[in-house]
Amino acid sequence: MSDEGYLAPKWQRTRPTGIARSLIPISAALVLLFVFGGRPLGLVAALAVATLLLAWGLARANLSALEVLPPAASLAAAGAWFELAIRVRNRSSWFVARDLLLTLDDGTQRTTGPTGYLPSLARGESSAVRTAPRFATRGRRRAVRLTITSSFPFQLFERTLVFELPADILVLPYLAGLRALDDRVAHFAGRRLDTAQGTVGDGEFYGLREWREGESLRGVHWKLSARRGRLLVRELRNEDRPAVHLYLSTLVAGPFLARAGNRHPSFERAVCLTATIAEHFLRGGHRVALTVVGPNPCSIERGRGRASLYPILATLAEVEPDGGDPLAAVPQLRQGRRRRDGRDEVPIVVVAGRGAQVPRSEAIHLDVDAADIDEVFDPAQTRHAPLFTAPSSTWTG
């Protein structure tokens, strides 16, 4: 590490591009013809060799003195592009760095191409480059990999610098859109639910969200919609709506966990399902609580509105699966349908890795491996299930 926290590249390389690989045998042939054929080809051979050597030297010099400052703490969502500023400094007193392509990733996934571009960086100057990376899976990234490449000046040789940067990037779980859960919750609670996907009921105004295609225009706030250039719908608070308490079991059957590691597909779908349910009912004005059960239990108190969504997503972003019977925590979940404070509460249990069923009288049980919802949304394969629709839009207010 250099002064002011800037980091030097971990490794670097220079390799010929496709054009150079085509010119190298031609140059070699010209040299051989000059040696065995006489002087007329001497100038051409010398020019070809000199061009390759000059391009190789300038490519190395172009990125010879670059350093990078680790990024600031950031927040992202799985599967979504987000902006991350990277400060790059050129310590060289001789060369201006040009045509810099930046690629940022976490080192665990295949990159899809450059995430940032810097046309030039003057001698002794630094610049903040806006990159747009995307992480496919949830979790906290403690380190990221930055790759800087340039084929300046003649596109004959590509110079690559790779930096290992400490970071603190929290990637929240993927959110899809629910469509088949309201009826089950309404039946369990013994009443019709007036969620955000239905018509707007009477109550206290507390927020705005984007209008969805096919939804009634009854609740559109026309003045604010005209100002912002898109349709916005009023969110109304209805105190009669029952609270929703989500329970996520982190236990996954041992053999499956050992085979798939910490990114067990069923558990990742269970986390995605839990996050989607929380977002869905918070949009609808319900109070939502979260309890993670397993070897490392934790809970988020009941809350309402957009501000209550982040604590739930941040908790789900860092939960990890453990080996064991997914239903081992079920005895802890027999809370009943009414809390001590007299308010109705609908418990929803989400487990992964087993197709057994919890008695319906105790809770609504959603097993991502059960036959009735076998095709739960899988972000890695972009599959859509009977329980899900397309990914939900950004919650505005």
Which sequence spans correspond to the domains of the chain? 3-172, 177-389
Q: 65: buried, middle or exposed (CB in 10 Å: 19+, 13-18, 0-12)?
A: middle
Using pLDDT thresholds of 50, 70 and 90, give the confidence band for residue 264.
confident
Tokens representing residue 306 in the block: 């957009």
312-328, pLDDT tens digit by residue?
999 999 999 888 877 77
Using pLDDT thresholds of 50, 70 and 90, give the confidence band for residue 371.
very low
* Model pTM score: 0.75
Which region among 8-22, 191-205, 258-272 has the lowest average model confidence (pLDDT)?
Answer: 191-205
**C-alpha dihedral sign at 7, 11, 16, 18:** negative
Peptide bond into 153 cis (omega under 30): yes
H helix runs in 13-96, sequence order = 18-37, 42-62
Note every long-range contact of 43-51, with CB atoms under 8 Å and residues 24 or more positions apart, other chains counting: 48/23, 51/23, 51/154, 51/156
**Please, which residues have CB within 8 angstroms of residue 343's CB and are 6 or more apart in sequence?**
242, 243, 287
Using pLDDT thresholds of 50, 70 and 90, give the confidence band for residue 329.
low
Q: What is the mean pLDDT of the chain?
A: 77
Distance CA 168, CA 246 (A): 28
CATH architecture of 3-172: Sandwich (2.60)
CA 327 to chain centre: 29
